[in-house]
């Protein structure tokens, strides 16, 4: 499982642009949350089933979007119920 943490400019298009990076690849996130903190939008996306290379490519693509200020990617151990 991978978690993407994106800090984006406070713009109405920031969230759709981030979601679009996954939609273009036919990926539905396990979880997506966003929080406006006054100057930026902090977006967190969690996705299972990606290999490390796919996750790195998506993170680079997110970092290249106009809206992104910073992108962090972390591998998260999956918990089984």
From CA 39, how far away is CA 27, in angstroms rounded?
29
14, with CB counted inside 10 A (0-12, 13-18, 19+), is buried
* % of the chain at pLDDT higher than 70: 95
Q: In what order do the strands lie in the sheet with 40-47?
A: 31-36, 40-47, 2-9, 68-75
Provide the whole-model pTM. Answer: 0.88
Q: What is the pLDDT of residue 63?
A: 92
The closest alpha carbon to 73, from 37, 48, 45, belongs to 45
């Amino acid at each position: 499982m991978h978690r993407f943490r994106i800090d984006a400019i406070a713009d109405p298009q920031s969230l759709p642009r981030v979601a679009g990076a996954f939609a273009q690849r036919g990926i539905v996130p396990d979880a997506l949350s966003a929080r406006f903190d006054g100057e930026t939008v902090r977006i967190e996306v969690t996705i299972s089933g990606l290999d490390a290379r796919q996750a790195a490519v998506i993170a680079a693509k997110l970092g290249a979007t106009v809206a992104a200020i910073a992108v962090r990617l972390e591998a998260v151990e999956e918990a089984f119920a």
